[in-house]
């Protein structure tokens, strides 16, 4: 694998020098922090939501009915975060649930009418923010960026899962 000269050089003893500011996982975290900070302003203050609550709402907003396990599988969140999000959204009256005929141990969740209203208020704002974040990139660059991010995410998942 080709390493950029900016991220890896060898010291006097032949050991690699480490430069945090050029280390990809660090750059990814900084990227995430800045982007999430910009996005969270749309739902934190106006609606009192946390990131994992918004992600859960967004997933339910795109699907007619899901179990908590379905939400875990569709997101990058763990069971505890999804459970907390469901509890918080249910407490605000933004989630409705019903029995799952396919599996009595789980419940099918969907956005309630008021939850759907919040979702439909936020989605256009999210799209507008995404356009602002990516305004300096061409359509080709945006496609390339998203494709590269997906490839790196798949590599990270493969490393994590062994």
pLDDT mean values, one per 10 residues, the chain (162 residues): 55 78 95 95 96 97 95 94 97 95 91 98 98 98 97 94 89
List Cβ neighbours of 121 (8 Å cut-off, separation of 6 or more): none
Q: Residue 27: what pLDDT?
A: 96
Q: Residue 141: what pLDDT?
A: 98
Q: Residue 16: what pLDDT?
A: 82
β partners of residue 110: 96
Domain extents for the chain? 23-130
Rounded to the nearest 5°, which phi and psi values hold at 49?
Answer: -90, 150
Q: Residue 56: what pLDDT?
A: 98
Q: Residue 3: what pLDDT?
A: 54
Question: How far does Cα 9 stand from its chain's mean position?
Answer: 33
What is the CATH code for 23-130?
1.10.10.10
């Amino acid at each position: 694998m080709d390493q950029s000269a900016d991220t890896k050089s060898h010291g006097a003893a032949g050991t690699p020098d480490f430069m945090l500011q050029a280390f990809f996982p660090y750059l990814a975290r900084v990227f995430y922090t800045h982007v999430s900070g910009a996005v969270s302003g749309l739902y934190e203050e106006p609606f009192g939501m946390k990131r994992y609550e918004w992600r859960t709402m967004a997933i339910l907003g795109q699907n007619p009915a899901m179990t908590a396990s379905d939400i875990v599988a569709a997101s990058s969140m763990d069971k505890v975060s999804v459970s907390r999000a469901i509890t918080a959204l249910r407490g605000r009256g933004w989630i409705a649930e019903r029995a799952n005929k396919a599996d009595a141990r789980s419940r099918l969740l969907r956005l309630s009418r008021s939850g759907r209203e919040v979702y439909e208020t936020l989605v256009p704002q999210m799209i507008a923010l995404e356009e602002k974040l990516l305004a300096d990139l061409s359509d080709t660059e945006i496609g390339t960026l998203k494709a590269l991010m997906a490839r790196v995410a798949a590599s990270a998942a493969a490393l994590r899962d062994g």
